[in-house]
Structure 1
């Protein structure tokens, strides 16, 4: 039987001129931040939003990954109703722009849930719930979680399906329960396939977290918008905003590329004929 060797990516052997140019631009902006009082002031203000951006991104991504794994399991369920319900959710969420979803969750779903909770449990509450009790930051986290869970579910589904059926059948012959088969046999093998696109989704969420500024959440973008509106220093402010996001995403992208390369090398050592 003929074995097909995986085709190498020609860009892997290219000298990273793009990275050199990026580093030069980053070094220039870094010098301006240190040497220019205005840039120093803007950076000092915007850096306060890094904590909010990090919290929103990490929390939403963790919740989205957990929900995405459940959705992937539902799509692969033997029950038709469960599969169709999961597929309905995934297709709907993937079809709604993230900005629209943020507005919908913040100004439609959240007030609706508060009204429903008061109607169902109001008689047992000391005081009725108010929409403002549900902070805008957590509404933004909920929107990012729901939106990204649909994309992450497809990543998990593809990774699980990449594991040969024979692996599951072998585990079944050993008497493992469905959960044990998934935990000890299927998921560890699928993880190699899942990790790179999952990392890409995390980087994408860092960038999409800037959208929470439309709800007034004090992240990097929102603080920059407020400062620029008050000082009319738009170029300096958004130079720093872009610098911070680029610094984070490029570092993560390089780490992800390194990880993908090591995964390919380890896979080729395990299966030299692949």
Structure 2
């Protein structure tokens, strides 16, 4: 037994595997050094900002608060990491292997936490430097409070046009996209012409940028004097162009959802006597629609952003209105207002998409 035990130890098995102590102190020390460097950069940036911004007294006080917050936020996990690393070394010397590994794991976790916060602080410092560089030229160009106050009301009112275009187009896109998807999946030889037409349409409109479709429809239909269509307003030209463009994308989303429904569902419905159309309407489409809600919402988020493209045909939307203010004041703060309005409506929808995706994943795991 002793010879075998000695052989295993020599080969690295058994107790030799745990011979090396957990080395967490270098990582903890590196996190402390990174924190001190970040705090020094924060103090330097705060001093620079106090020289640039007006009102030195309040600015200096705000800078001191920022530096103190950085110290408290960044230094605490780094110091915890050092303490845990020392505790790990002590436990290892006392032959308490489990406690040593646990303390070393805690030290590494706290050290990486401190380093992560340091990285975030450096990104924020870069943003502050960018805004304050060149005597606050960037801040005055994009975030001038006076221009924002002057343009906010009219820009927000014009943003209603973007919302109207997006909402109406979404309704039309859903119907048109579903029709294209069903045509793309038309069964048998009788459906071959429909499949060919739908495939050609989808491929063509997905290949052409939306701004070109908007331009062609917004200016082409009035020039061609097409009956009824040529008399539409620019807003409805924009709705028509976006419907034709995004209908191709939504058709592919619907098709993917329909094809994801297990064939056994269709077979079971047909065995119960349901017709092909009834099976599609009552069995396949409800399941497919539930599965494609997240990608549909993603497409509609893109649609809302693309409503800003309608300015090329003269529609007075938020972007066009902001450009008027920008040209009058030689300042782009009004355009920043438009960006903020789009952020306000798109970020909540993006978070909704994330929640729906997570719910579908949980439902799939539960199944």
Q: Same fold (TM over 0.5)?
A: yes
Residues 50 and 219, structure 1, Cα contact 8 Å, conserved in 2? yes
1:23-62 equivalences under 5 Å are: 36-62=145-171
Calculate the TM-score normalised by the size of structure 2. 0.58
CA distance in 2, matches of 1:154, 1:130: 27
CA distance in 2, matches of 1:223, 1:161: 44
Identify the residue that residue 245 of structure 1 maps to in structure 2.
Answer: 342
Residues 192 and 263, structure 1, Cα contact 8 Å, conserved in 2? no
Identify the residue that residue 65 of structure 1 maps to in structure 2.
Answer: 174
**How far is the alpha carbon of 1:223 from its aligned partner?**
0.9
**How far is the alpha carbon of 1:228 from its aligned partner?**
0.9
**How far is the alpha carbon of 1:40 from its aligned partner?**
1.8
Q: Which runs of 5+ in 1 are unaligned?
A: 1-14, 26-34, 118-128
Identify the residue that residue 92 of structure 1 maps to in structure 2.
Answer: 204
Indicate which of 354, 360, 363 corresponds to 1:257.
354
**How far is the alpha carbon of 1:226 from its aligned partner?**
1.3
**How far is the alpha carbon of 1:43 from its aligned partner?**
1.4
Identify the residue that residue 47 of structure 2 maps to in structure 1.
Answer: none
1:203-242 equivalences under 5 Å are: 203-234=301-332, 236-242=333-339
**How far is the alpha carbon of 1:261 from its aligned partner?**
1.1
Residues 221 and 229, structure 2, Cα contact 8 Å, conserved in 1? no
SS in 1 for 2:261: coil
**How far is the alpha carbon of 1:139 from its aligned partner?**
0.6
Residues 73 and 157, structure 1, Cα contact 8 Å, conserved in 2? yes
Aligned residues between the structures: 232
1:1-274 equivalences under 5 Å are: 36-78=145-187, 79-112=191-224, 114-115=225-226, 117=227, 131=230, 133-234=231-332, 236-269=333-366, 271=367
| Residues 189/36 of structure 1: CA separation in 2 closer, same or farther (3 Å cut) | same
Deviation track 1:116-146 (CA, whole Å, cap 9, x = no partner) reads x3xxxxxxxxxxx694x22111111100000
Residues 69 and 156, structure 1, Cα contact 8 Å, conserved in 2? yes
**How far is the alpha carbon of 1:193 from its aligned partner?**
2.4
CA distance in 1, matches of 2:158, 2:319: 8
Calculate the TM-score normalised by the size of structure 1. 0.77
Report which stretch shifted further, 180-189 or 168-177. Answer: 180-189
**How far is the alpha carbon of 1:89 from its aligned partner?**
0.6
**How far is the alpha carbon of 1:111 from its aligned partner?**
3.8
Residues 105 and 139, structure 1, Cα contact 8 Å, conserved in 2? yes
Residues 196 and 260, structure 1, Cα contact 8 Å, conserved in 2? yes
CA distance in 2, matches of 1:191, 1:130: 32
Deviation track 1:4-52 (CA, whole Å, cap 9, x = no partner) reads xxxxxxxxxxx9x99xx99xx9xxxxxxxxx944322221121102211
Residues 219 and 313, structure 2, Cα contact 8 Å, conserved in 1? no
